[in-house]
């Protein structure tokens, strides 16, 4: 069993919890409250900007030119995500106001930056991976369930993330896990567990990102 296969087995209960999360279930039903959508988009604007910058840092940690090109290519997907945000904003009528970065957003992006600054190349990849992987699972499963029906105002959002809607596109997540398996090859058992923890922390933060929007979590104080 490869490192990433074992990691995905450990990750499965978290992924199941993400699929069962009320926000994700409300996306499936097309019934997400407007204030939840607005909070999510405002926070995700911060997140995606940081995701691109952490990808840039990750690129500096490898000399493998194929990996550098792949990381640059996969980062391009973030451009499609402005459309994903637009779909949500068209429902609510909100325009981006650059709200404050809320606690779980900060916790997640701090983790990604720290992993890329202080960790190995494998840590940097592992911190980024749950973002693309978990959304591909969400998109795939929601389309399989028929949630992208014509009555769902979030149909386009769902289809943007569903890999089966772009069958000719390369399987970028397969590449990401393959790159992770190559990156961990020289690592010690202690370092391997560190990489696993880095990935699982990011996946936990994916759940918390949905939860923070659902609960409308804010800082306790203005400062």
Ligand X SMILES: Cc1ncc(CN)c(N)n1
Q: Which residues bind ligand X (CB under 6 A)?
A: 44, 47-48, 81, 131-132, 135, 206, 209
Residue 161 contacts residue 88 (beta carbons within 8 Å): no
Beta carbon nearer to ligand X, 48 or 162: 48
CA distances to 5, 27, 61, 123, 201 from 10, rounded to whole Å, are: 9, 26, 26, 17, 12
Contact between 28 and 220 under an 8 Å Cβ cutoff? The reply is: no
At closest approach, how far in Å is the CB of 50 from ligand X? Answer: 10
Q: Least distance (Å) from ligand X to the CB of residue 206?
A: 6
Question: Shortest distance, CB of residue 32 to ligand X, whole angstroms?
Answer: 15
Which residue bears the tokens 């609960």? 215
Q: How far is the CB of 136 from ligand X (least distance, A)?
A: 9
Q: How far is the CB of 122 from ligand X (least distance, A)?
A: 20
Asked if residues 94 and 38 have their Cβ atoms less than 8 Å apart, the reply is yes
Q: Which residue is at the shortest CB distance from ligand X?
A: 131
Place of tokens 């983790």: 111
Nearest to ligand X of 59, 88 (CB atom): 88
Nearer to ligand X, 111 or 187 (CB): 111
Q: Please check whether residue 189 is in contact with residue 6, taking contact to mean a CB–CB distance below 8 angstroms.
A: no
| Sequence-ordered alpha helix ranges (H) in the chain | 3-20, 22-29, 34-59, 65-75, 77-92, 103-118, 121-144, 155-161, 172-184, 189-215
Q: Quick one: 187 or 208, whose CB is closer to ligand X?
A: 208
Task: Tell me how far, at minimum, the Cβ of 148 lies from ligand X, in Å.
Answer: 17
8 Å CB contact between 143 and 158 = yes
- Identify which of residues 1 and 158 has a Cβ nearer to ligand X in the complex: 158
Pick the closer one to ligand X by CB: 204 or 206.
206
Residue 46 near residue 109 (C-beta atoms within 8 A): yes
């Amino acid at each position: 069993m490869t490192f990433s296969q074992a990691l995905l087995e450990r990750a499965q209960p978290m992924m199941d919890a993400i699929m069962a999360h009320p926000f994700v279930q409300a996306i499936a039903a097309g019934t997400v409250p407007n204030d939840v959508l607005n909070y999510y988009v405002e926070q995700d604007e911060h997140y995606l900007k940081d995701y691109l910058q952490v990808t840039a840092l990750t690129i500096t940690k490898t000399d493998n030119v194929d990996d550098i090109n792949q990381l640059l290519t996969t980062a391009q997907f973030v451009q499609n995500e402005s459309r994903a945000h637009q779909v949500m904003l068209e429902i609510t009528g909100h325009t981006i106001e650059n709200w404050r970065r809320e606690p779980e957003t900060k916790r997640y992006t701090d983790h990604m930056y720290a992993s890329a600054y202080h960790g190995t190349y494998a840590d940097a990849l592992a911190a980024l991976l749950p973002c693309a992987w978990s959304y591909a699972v969400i998109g795939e499963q929601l389309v399989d369930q028929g949630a992208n029906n014509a009555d769902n105002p979030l149909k386009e959002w769902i289809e943007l993330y569903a890999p089966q809607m772009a069958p000719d596109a390369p399987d970028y997540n397969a590449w990401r896990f393959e790159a992770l398996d190559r990156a961990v090859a020289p690592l010690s058992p202690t370092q391997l567990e560190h990489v696993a923890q880095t990935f699982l922390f990011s996946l936990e933060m994916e759940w918390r990102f949905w939860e923070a929007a659902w609960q409308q979590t804010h800082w306790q104080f203005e400062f």
